[in-house]
Amino acid sequence: MAVRQHTRIRRPFARLVVGAAATLLVSAVPVGAQAAPRPAPSTPGYCTSASNPQLADRLSKDIASTLSGRQDTVAFAISDTRTGVSCAYHSTTHFDSASVVKATIMGAVLRRAEDEKRYLTTWEDDNLQQMITASDNTAATNLWKSLGMPRLQAFLKLAGMNDTQLGADGYWGLTQITADDELKMLDVYTGNPSVITPAAKAYGLGLMSQVEADQRWGTPFGAPAAVSVHVKNGWLPRATHGWRVHSLGIFTGAGKDYRMAVLTQDNATESYGIDTIQGIASAVHRDLNSAVGGGTSKAAPHARGAETPEASDGSAPFGPVAH
């Protein structure tokens, strides 16, 4: 997408020190593997919880209700530390990443600073801010090139993202992702203690909480007012499988700690994919928060069914990529 001019936000955690070595992994997942749309099961068992089985059952049914009749291909992975509820559907199916891979790029940049036992440079900080808050593609390309494939692969290994394959020839928006791996990536910024430091986690969450208002649709839809929202979205049309529309969300504060990765493709329009994601998100926020006294819910800036510009995030060309 086009670069947007906006005021630079100074953050007290922009300087961080980190350290430890990483190893390399070359993924064996084939690029471009896509699954055909499959209907949701009539008696879904999307969600499980040893401590809250009734809640898990209710959430499964509510997600099934919101997906009823939808025509796109959907995958999701959801985890709530507080209630012990976890949900998954087609969570190992591969999708083109579009701009959600930018959260992974950020994690690799933070880990590089840790490995080199130094602060982020001003150049890194500037590009990270543009890449996450405005989804700027030039900044993403700058950081992708500066990292190089070996360091990016090392980050995937550390995060346990073994089913992710990085986009070839600089096409980072065509990185092959799964909902399971995207949830592991979100865990890097929350529960996983082995990839980046607490200071780096705070930095990443800070940027994801400052995403521009017109990009705060998707998983934040219906989040209670007291919950802190951290989001990164992607929206990309291609010559096959229509629009890829994805949303990653981390929700903390007020005693809450849950994460969602929702991936879609085969959408006729961007709006259709957003509507699918926000139906799932609404059920998740309502059920998880009602279970623990979550307070009043609020609508996200993008209401279900509202019109969107239907403009690509620009993370990859529309047609086939020539090799």
Beta-carbon contacts of residue 193 (< 8 Å; ≥ 6 apart): none
Mean predicted confidence (pLDDT) in 203-225: 97
What token pair was written down for 304?
């279900």
Residues paired with residue 237 on neighbouring β-strands, in sequence order = 243
The 3 state secondary structure assigned to 61-119 is HHHHHHHCCCCCEEEEEEEECCCCCEEEECCCCCEECHHHHHHHHHHHHHHHHHHCCCC
pLDDT in tens, 94-124: 999 999 999 999 999 999 999 999 999 999 9
Give the residue among 274, 279, 270, 275 at the shortest CA–CA distance from 236: 270
pLDDT in tens, 67-101: 999 999 999 999 999 999 999 999 999 999 999 99
CA–CA distance, 6 with 175 (Å, rounded to integer): 28
Collapsing DSSP states into helix, strand and coil, what is residue 172?
A: helix
Are the C-beta atoms of 106 and 159 separated by less than 8 Å?
Answer: no
Surface-to-core class of residue 126, CB atoms within 10 Å of its CB (0-12 exposed, 13-18 middle, 19+ buried): middle
pLDDT in tens, 279-321: 999 999 999 998 654 444 444 444 444 456 799 999 999 988 8
CA–CA distance, 30 with 38 (Å, rounded to integer): 21
3-state helix, strand, coil in the chain (%, to 5): 35, 15, 45
Residues paired with residue 229 on neighbouring β-strands, in sequence order = 251
pLDDT in tens, 5-34: 443 444 444 444 343 333 322 233 333 444
Surface-to-core class of residue 79, CB atoms within 10 Å of its CB (0-12 exposed, 13-18 middle, 19+ buried): buried
Dihedral in degrees, nearest 10, Cα atoms 60, 178, 120, 139:
-110
What token pair was written down for 5?
């001019």
Torsion-angle region of residue 305: left (phi > 0), alpha (psi -120 to 50) or beta?
left
CA–CA distance, 249 with 117 (Å, rounded to integer): 29
Cα 316-319-323 angle, rounded to 5 deg: 80
Q: What is the model's pLDDT at position 323?
A: 58
